[in-house]
Amino acid sequence: MSHPERKSRIQFNKLHKRLRRNVGQAIADYKMIEHGDKVMVCLSGGKDSFVMLDILLNLQKTAPVIFEIIAVNLDQKQPGFPEHILPEYLTSIGVPFHIIEHDTYSIVKRVIPEGKTTCSLCSRLRRGTLYGFAKEHKITKIALGHHRDDILETYFLNMFFAGKLKAMPPKLLSDDKQNIVIRPLAYCKEKDITRYATFKQFPIIPCNLCGSQENLQRQEMKKMLKGWDKQFPGRLETIFSSLKNISPSQMADTDLFDFVSLERKQSNELHIPSEDAGLEVLER
């Protein structure tokens, strides 16, 4: 093995260990996967879902709990979609899989005016179809490939354009209480995922329906975060940490904290600063 090959192998091993550690930690922190779970790994053909499947399969071999993995792809009937790629790849690695065929593409193109953002409707249609499949096949967990940067982008999108402090939770119970959605890549950086996908040479399938819409608000958030990450290393880690360290009493949401009932504590003691910088208690 040449020196460049050895160096590349070392870099890959470090990257793999980091992603594996981050996914394992997220699973442990939020109890994403339990013994006996049947996990549906939603595979879109993009880099994120390929990496998620790869890491979960790796963890499955050494996890302290036994769980099942089934890869599921939703074929939305986009023109030119290479239908053979995912089945061939999944067959080659020996993973049980199912391809759901549902023409959501035609629905989106019919409903959304030309030039308008398709992501919201497309996402809702995908979610409904996947939830239906999960119920039919007794799936206990639905794994999506959203990573840390997706969560931060959503956080700022909601803050700037919806007036809400809201992001993507690593674990979610659906509105109908029938499905638990997990995001095993919640602690993983997009740049690590991109590098890993390049190392592994996954057969990436681009999304031609929405991936070409460069003027989306999410693209602007992505540019903003990348700029911060380059100019202020560590800033994104700090922001993500804040999502896990919330103090409702220091915000302004009256539904999360009972500001109205706050009362001053009555006391017979008066506290004043003393000359030696201590606190001296004087009886009234």
The enclosing domain of 178 has a CATH number of 3.40.50.620
Q: What is the mean pLDDT of the chain?
A: 88
Bridge-based pairing state of the strands 171-173 and 269-273: unpaired
Closest CA to 36 of 72, 63, 71, 73: 63
How many structural domains is the chain composed of? 1
Contact 111, 121 (CB under 8 A): yes
pLDDT band at 217 (very low <50, low <70, confident <90, very high): confident
pLDDT at residue 211 in the model: 45
Residues 6+ positions from 161 with CB-CB distance below 8 Å = 217
Q: Would you say residue 241 lies in a domain?
A: yes
Q: Would you say residue 283 lies in a domain?
A: no
Q: Would you say residue 268 lies in a domain?
A: no
Report which of residues 9 and 232 the model is more confident about.
232
pLDDT at residue 118 in the model: 64
Contact 167, 152 (CB under 8 A): yes
Q: Is 133's pLDDT higher than 80?
A: yes
Q: Is 134's pLDDT higher than 80?
A: yes
163-167, 202-206, 264-268: which is most confident: 163-167
What mean pLDDT is predicted for residues 219-228? 94
Q: Which domain holds residue 171?
A: 3-250
pTM value is 0.86
Q: Would you say residue 220 lies in a domain?
A: yes
Q: Is the dihedral of CA 244, 249, 255, 258 positive or negative?
A: positive
Over residues 179-195, the pLDDT tens digits come to 999 999 999 999 999 99
Q: Would you say residue 132 lies in a domain?
A: yes
Least confident of 141-145, 205-209, 247-251: 205-209
pLDDT at residue 75 in the model: 85
Q: Would you say residue 124 lies in a domain?
A: yes
pLDDT band at 1 (very low <50, low <70, confident <90, very high): low
pLDDT band at 57 (very low <50, low <70, confident <90, very high): very high
Least confident of 38-52, 120-134, 254-268: 120-134
* Phi and psi at residue 280, to the nearest 5°: -110, 135
> What is 37-85 written as a DSSP string?
-EEEEE--SSHHHHHHHHHHHHHHHH-SS--EEEEEEEE---TT--TTH
Q: Which two tokens stand for residue 43?
A: 């595979």
CA torsion 249-251-257-261 (nearest 10°) is 80
Using DSSP's 3-state secondary structure scheme, residue 194 falls into helix
What does the radius of gyration of the chain's CA atoms come to, in whole angstroms? Answer: 24
Q: Would you say residue 262 lies in a domain?
A: no
